[in-house]
Chains A and B, each alone.
Chain A
Amino acid sequence: MSAIAFTGGRGNEGLSALLSAFGMLAGTSVLAECTFTYSRLLRLMDPQNVRKRPVPSIPRFNFDADRCSHCFKCLDICKHNAIMRYGDLIHYAEHRCTACGSCIRWCPLSVLQFEYDDDVLLSYAESRYGPLLYTDSIVDALHQPAMTSVILEQARQMMNVRKIHQLHIRLPRGQGEAAAIAASSADAVVIVTAPYPYALADLKSLVLFSRKCGHLPLVLINKVHPSNIILTDVLNTYCQGEGIPVAGKIPYDPLFPEAEQLGLSVIEYDSATNCTSAVKEAWINISQRIANIT
């Protein structure tokens, strides 16, 4: 059994399009989608037979506006600026609330109450590539590490039950605690970069991040075009200097957005072009590397 973690950076490296193509090439594999934003990749995967299960989450607030006497004491109490006053009304900015409970303790009428919500759902689905695990609930940064652990645990259970040998993990965006949990649990990390002006800075920090998680990463350079050949070289030279293997260079090609528009991976859309053969070659390199490690 092997687990590969894929990470992009800011999000325009074309990771979703590449991962859908790799899913096609890998045969049956489990995909754990750990990005907590709306995922392009999921649209491409086209989830079927979706089942959802609640995941325990921390308490949130319930504010009973009808019973509020508008004493505005809570305004001074809340130090996260989550309660504001608009004229005679209380406005509660839920996204700033940390559930510390200060306002509850001070509210004379107890119109502020804790409640445990079960609206964070983990989704299990089937796709043409294999089983998928993801959440389309909103998970704030505070709760992403716990959610990531739950997704990965379930993905590994699914592999055991269904006798599937490969797990693809799409890492959460950024290099925070959630991403570290997921990367550390994988056998290898693949970084997808693209020659943008910030690419070298991002790549350096992602390499450092994956080393901290115990992996020498594998790098894929996407969106290579004659107009950005200098930046591509900079990325390539950096990898060589650090002894980081480059698994492939994939050309910038309008074929990717065209395929995405139809909800297809680039392999399904047109399997006999320059860019698809580059994708296939990259996948062979990644698989060989994984075979060597595990």
Chain B
Amino acid sequence: MPKPLTIAFYSPVSGNGSSLLALNLFEYYRSFCESENYVLLDCDISYPTLRYYLEVGEAHTTDVYAEMPHILREKCILCKVCEKACHFGAIRISGSINQVTFVEKKCIACGACLNTCRHAAIVPRDHKIGKYMVSELEEKTFLIDAGQDVPERFHVPVIQAMKAKAMNYSFVIIDAKPGLSAESLESIYDADLLIMVADARSFAGMHCNTILPDLKKLTAKQSILINRCAGKPVHVHEYAIQHNIPIIYEMPFDEKFQLTGMNGEIAVKKQTDYLSAFDTIASNIEKILNS
């Protein structure tokens, strides 16, 4: 199966409006561009946003598993090697009661303990670490998001599983988690095009300078979309020219667009005013992908 076209919307800080733009672009592609099927991937596990804007149909849930240690007490000689190997304090050996205890809540399923035991007293056992849902929105259109109850330490493997699932579709838009931590990097990893949403405020130039170089290794192509533009965001332009990164579009600050979003509506669907903006965005995306 060929790899799908993957576009990731990313923002270094939350509140730049990248989810709303991702939703609108998705709606635009779904209505006007030919593809076998379309999938929207919400990688912000702590706060899934997209489902609140969409009519979500029946969901198909898939559990995600990882290997955690299972300790065979009869084989354990209390040598404490595994306790030392665990960076997260999930294995404790108490000398006074001659007992080894495993604290599942602290385990990140890294496998360090499994490697170190020389007495075959630790064996791997599958534990459920989270789940993700594939929901049908309309014909050939799907949303993939995860359960909010996935512990933060398992976000990276759960996002990996969601992305592996998305590879079965032909057109993918990812709404990444904001920030620069491992979960955010995992959400954009290996995308065909990164759209960094910069807002036009005074420090957006700094974001471009410090963040985009880090992200260049992770995605095939990068671009910037300036949101809520008032005046000319000089810093962002300077950066874009210097590093040869295209600016896809400058979205003006538009109270109506913001308030439509606040009311849970997708502007492109409700009002034709915004179609020309997304026409331009889509054609610029095509240019970048073909270059």
Partners in one complex: yes
**Contact flag A96-B46 (CB < 8 Å), given A39-B13, A101-B85, A144-B152:** no
B179 lies within 8 A of A81 (CB)? no
For A101, give the chain B residue with the smallest CB separation: B112
List chain A residues, Cβ under 8 A from B202: 43, 261-263
CA–CA, A79 and B66, complex, Å: 10
Tell me, in angstroms, the Cα distance from A9 to B49 when the chains sit together.
11
Instruction: Tell yes or no: A177 within 8 A of B by CB.
Output: yes
Q: How far is the CB of A80 from chain B (nearest CB, A)?
A: 7
Residues of A within 8 Å of B262, CB to CB, are 194-197, 223, 225, 227-228
* Secondary structure class of chain A's binding surface, majority of residues: loop
Q: Which residues of B are found within 8 Å of A105, using beta-carbon distances?
A: 115
> With the chains together, A201 CA to B264 CA distance in Å?
14
List the A side residues contacting B228 at CB < 8 Å.
257
Q: Within 8 Å of chain A (Cβ to Cβ): is B235?
A: no
Cβ-closest chain B residue relative to A42: B203
Residues of the A chain whose Cβ atoms lie less than 8 Å from the Cβ of B255: 254
Chain A residues with CB below 8 A from B152, complex form: 141, 144, 174, 176-178
0/1 per residue, B138-159, Cβ < 8 Å to A?
0000000000100111011100
A252 to B211, CA, bound (A): 30
Q: How many interface residues does B have (CB within 8 Å)?
A: 52
**Could you say which residues of chain B place their CB within 8 Å of the CB of A231?**
263
Report B196-254 residues with CB < 8 Å from chain A CB: 201-203, 207, 211, 228, 230, 253
| Bound: A101/B156 CA distance, A | 18
Q: Which residue of A lies closest to B151 (CB)?
A: A176
B207 contacts which of A36, A38, A102 (Cβ < 8 Å)?
A38
Contact across chains for B87 and A99 when beta carbons are under 8 A apart: yes
Question: What is the minimal beta-carbon distance from B198 to any residue of chain A, in angstroms?
Answer: 11
B136 at interface by CB-CB < 8 Å? no
| Residue of A with least CB distance to B253 | A257
A-contact 0/1 string along B269-284, CB 8 Å cutoff: 0000000000000000
Query: Cα distance A142–B183 when bound, in Å?
Result: 10
Whether A37 pairs with B12 at a CB distance below 8 angstroms is: yes
Q: B110 at the A/B interface (Cβ < 8 Å)?
A: yes
**Chain A contacts of B148 at CB under 8 A?**
205
In the assembled complex, A71 has its CB within 8 A of some CB on chain B: no
- Residue B259 lies at the interface, judged by CB distance under 8 Å to chain A: yes
Question: Would you call B32 an interface residue if the criterion is a C-beta within 8 Å of the partner chain's C-beta atoms?
Answer: no
Residues of chain B within 8 A of A100, CB atoms compared: 110-112, 115
Instruction: From A96, A177, A205, A263, give the contact of B186 (CB < 8 A).
Output: A96
Contacts of A197 in B (CB 8 A): 52-53, 262-264
Check: A284 CB closer than 8 A to any chain B CB.
no
B206 to chain A, nearest CB (A): 8
- Max chain B Cβ within 10 angstroms of own Cβ: one of A80, A194, A262, A263: A80
A141-B152, A225-B259 are contacts. A95–B13 as well, Cβ < 8 Å?
no
CA distance A175 to B186 in the complex (A): 20
A114 CB to closest chain B CB, in angstroms? 11
Instruction: Report the Cα distance A141→B185, complex, angstroms.
Output: 12
Partner among A11, A93, A144, A228 whose Cβ is within 8 Å of the Cβ of B15: A11
Query: Which A residues are in CB contact (< 8 Å) with B85?
Result: 101
A47 proximal to B (CB < 8 A): no
5 nearest A-B residue pairs (beta carbon): A11-B14, A197-B264, A37-B179, A174-B46, A98-B110
Given contacts A142-B88, A261-B230, 18 further A-B contacts (CB under 8 A): A37-B12, A38-B211, A79-B67, A79-B111, A95-B189, A96-B160, A96-B182, A100-B110, A141-B152, A144-B152, A174-B46, A177-B151, A197-B52, A197-B264, A201-B52, A227-B263, A257-B253, A262-B202
**Chain B interface residues toward A at CB < 8 A:** 12-15, 17, 44, 46-47, 49, 52-53, 67, 85, 87-88, 108-112, 115-116, 148, 151-153, 155-157, 160, 178-183, 185-186, 189, 201-203, 207, 211, 228, 230, 253, 255, 259, 262-264
